[in-house]
Amino acid sequence: MKIERILANNPGPFTGPGTNTWILDDGSGNVVVIDPGPVDRVHEVSILDRVGERRVASVLVTHTHLDHAPMANPLARELSVAAVGYAPGPHFKPDELVGEGSSVEFGHGTLQVVFTPGHSGDHLCFRVGNVLFSGDHIIGGSSVMVEEVGPYLRSLEKLRGTGLERLYPGHGEEIDWYLAHRLQRHQEILDAIVDGARSVEEVLEVVYHEVDKSLHPLAERSVNAHLTLLIEEGRIALDQDAIVLVAPKSP
**CATH number for position 185:** 1.10.10.10
Of 160, 175, 190, which closes a domain? Answer: 175
Of 135, 152, 175, which closes a domain? Answer: 175
pLDDT digits (tens, 9 = 90+) for 31-42: 999 999 999 999
Contacts of 2 (CB under 8 A, 6+ apart): 24, 25, 27
Number of folded domains in the chain? 2
pLDDT of residue 107: 94
Of 133, 156, 175, which closes a domain? Answer: 175
For residues 155 and 214, state if they share a domain: no
pLDDT digits (tens, 9 = 90+) for 102-142: 999 999 999 999 999 999 999 999 999 989 999 999 887 66
CA 120-11-4 angle, 5° bins: 80
Contacts of 15 (CB under 8 A, 6+ apart): 67, 171
pLDDT digits (tens, 9 = 90+) for 177-232: 455 566 778 888 999 999 999 999 999 999 988 888 888 887 888 898 889 889 98
Residue 7 forms part of a structural domain = yes
For residues 19 and 113, state if they share a domain: yes
Quote the pTM value.
0.72
Residue 251 forms part of a structural domain = no
For residues 100 and 197, state if they share a domain: no
CA distance 21 to 43: 9
Host domain of residue 45: 2-175
Residue 250 forms part of a structural domain = no
Q: Provide, rounded to the nearest whole percent, the portion of the chain with pLDDT above 90.
A: 63
CA distance 42 to 126: 26
